[in-house]
Structure 1
Amino acid sequence: MTQSQVLILQHVPWEKPGRIATALDEIGLNYQILNIADKKKPDLPAFDEVAGVVIMGGPMGATDYDKYPGLKAEAKLARAAIAVNKPVLGVCLGHQIIATALGAKLHKGEAPEIGFAPIKRVDKHDYFSMWDKQINVLHWHNDVVGLPEGAQLLARTTNTKVQAFRAGSALGLQFHLEVSSALLEEWLEESSMVKDLKAAGGSKSQLREDFAQYNPLLHPLADQVFTGFAARCNSYARALARRDEENRPKDPVIC
């Protein structure tokens, strides 16, 4: 019997799962990280062996299928997972991939949102039970999406109406809770990220100062969100294991 695992879809080397992977590690749940963005026919693990799906961020557009054909496979996977109540988590680009896969529209925002700025919590969910009405989080995006039909809006900003949403078994986050201090330093070593930061009027030193200020509150909230997701994946993995055990051929009875 093949052990189930969480599938993490990463699009560029520096947009790592960070605290998401930490939460999976802490409960001993296996995961596989793949980059399929440029593959027309990606080699994915068997769907029945996947206990959860994580779709990370990246600089491409969520529907840029001509240049990145693998994004279409990611959207299809997200829809299939949600249809069977398999846990799905999307961050930034991943948030947009899930939303557009469910029928929401993608478009350019009024202006890039890069750096720390407040979001307003609109509604509560198990993932967001500790959240105050307003909190400063790390933003890094240009595109924005609408709310998928039937989805629950969780957070917004003035320029980005959908900062977080829940749709069935999926959670989309436009902002970056996954970033630890170590991962932030990797971002600040990546020239394309620094270029975006400077174009938005930010600086490395200011971003480091803001991270030091806001991280003490964000870290426990990130832990709550990602440990909640990991627990859901673990429950799904246990359900898969029970199903496999029930379907396993029984040894013959010898009289």
Structure 2
Amino acid sequence: MRPVLVLTHAPSEGPGLIGPALDAPLRVRTVVDVADPLLPDPDEVAGIVVMGGWMDADDDLHHPGLAAERALLARAVAQDVPVLGVCLGAQLLAMALGGRLLRRHGTEVGFGPVDVVADDLVLGPLGARPTVLHWHADAVELPPDATLLASTEVTPVQAFRRGSALGVQFHLELEPAMLDLWLQTPEMVAGLDDDEIATIREDGRTHLPALVPAARKVVEVFAEQVRLRG
């Protein structure tokens, strides 16, 4: 079986529960600051997963590898390769498909519901109004010919589908240990006060027991698409 390419952008924002749930060989790469990275051709991989990060999805000046990632994602969708983009990964995917990044559109940090507005085979296990973890200030416009899947008042495009690709602005990968790491990482909690951090920690204890199994089911459906590509 061909490997799944996992693109990461920050040490604290790895694939989390996505990796084990894929049950496939993984090729994890971090190329965000590489001007001309060597990335595989879409034909060489069974799927692509793009994780989060603290940088802006259009900041090619300071993080030149982002342009190569977007180009790869555009080719992958054109070749019907299964793609899953999470947070920054969803923003890169949207831009690759012709959507526009909206810098500082609205801050959402912490647990809160999203409204699922359309059916999707992969996203379906989350249910109609799941409580998920948000951690972003940027947003995207819906790419041309994409289907809006989930929304909040602050961020109208919380999830979208175009062809073989699913983008989710919220975090599906979180397990309790990863949340603990984030809440101890200065870059992640910059701008949050002690009470806000405590609230996120407590909300994690409340919501992750239901969210983690549902997220695993989401990734398992994505993994089946990856296996079919082989």
Structure 1 equivalent of residue 200 of structure 2: 207
The equivalent position to 1:225 in structure 2, one of 218, 223, 226, is 218
When residues 4 and 189 of structure 1 are mapped into structure 2, their CA distance, relative to the original with a 3 A threshold, is same
TM-score by length of 1: 0.86
Mapped to 2, the partners of 1:70 and 1:113 lie a distance apart of: 26
Instruction: Work out the percentage of aligned pairs sharing the same amino acid.
Output: 44
Deviation for aligned residue 1:89: 0.6
Corresponding position of 2:167? 172
Secondary structure (helix, strand or coil) at the match of 1:115 reads strand
2:88 and 2:159 mapped to 1: Cα distance?
Answer: 12
Aligned equivalent of 2:15, options 10, 14, 17: 17
Query: Structure 1 residue 106: deviation in Å?
Result: 0.8
Residue 54 of structure 1 aligns with an amino acid whose one-letter code is: V
Aligned residue number for residue 241 of structure 1: none
Q: 1:27-106 counterparts in 2 under 5 A?
A: 27=23, 29-106=24-101
Answer whether contact 1:56 1:94 (CA < 8 A) is retained: yes
The letter for the 1-side match of 2:91 is Q
2 CA distance for matches of 1:149 and 1:18? 30
For 1:98 and 1:132, how far apart are their aligned partners in 2? 23
Larger Rg: 1
Q: Using the alignment, how far apart are the partners of 2:126 and 2:29 within structure 1?
A: 31
Deviation digits for residues 138-165 of structure 1 (CA, Å, limit 9, x no counterpart): 0000100010111111100001010001
Amino acid at match of 2:197: K
Would you say the 8 A contact 2:125–2:215 is kept in 1? Answer: no
- Deviation for aligned residue 1:196: 3.7
Tell me which stretches of 4 or more aligned residues in structure 1 moved more than 3 Å. Answer: none
RMSD: 1.5
8 Å Cα contact 1:114/1:197 also seen in 2: no
Unmatched 5+ residue regions in structure 2?
none
C-alpha deviation, 1:197, in angstroms: 3.2
Secondary structure of residue in 2 paired with 1:138: strand
Deviations, residues 110-149 of structure 1 (Å, cap 9, x unaligned): 4311001111111111123334332211000010001011
Distance 1:214 1:74, change over 3 A: same
Gap runs ≥5 in structure 1: 238-255
Tell me if structure 2 keeps the 8 A contact 1:115–1:202.
no
Helix, strand or coil at the partner of 2:36: coil
- 1:120-199 to structure 2, matched below 5 A, reads 120-198=115-193
Contact 1:38/1:68, CA 8 A, preserved across alignment: yes
Distance 1:202 1:111, change over 3 A: farther
Following the alignment from structure 2 to structure 1, what is the Cα–Cα distance between the partners of residues 222 and 213? 14
3-state SS, counterpart of residue 61 of structure 2:
coil
Q: 2: distance between equivalents of 1:172 and 1:196? A: 26
- Report the Cα offset of residue 224 of structure 1: 1.5
**CA displacement at 1:220 relative to structure 2:** 2.1
Q: Structure 2 CA distance, aligned partners of 1:215 and 1:47?
A: 33
Out of 236, 244, 249, the position equivalent to 2:229 is: 236
Contact 1:52–1:233 (8 Å) recurs in 2: yes
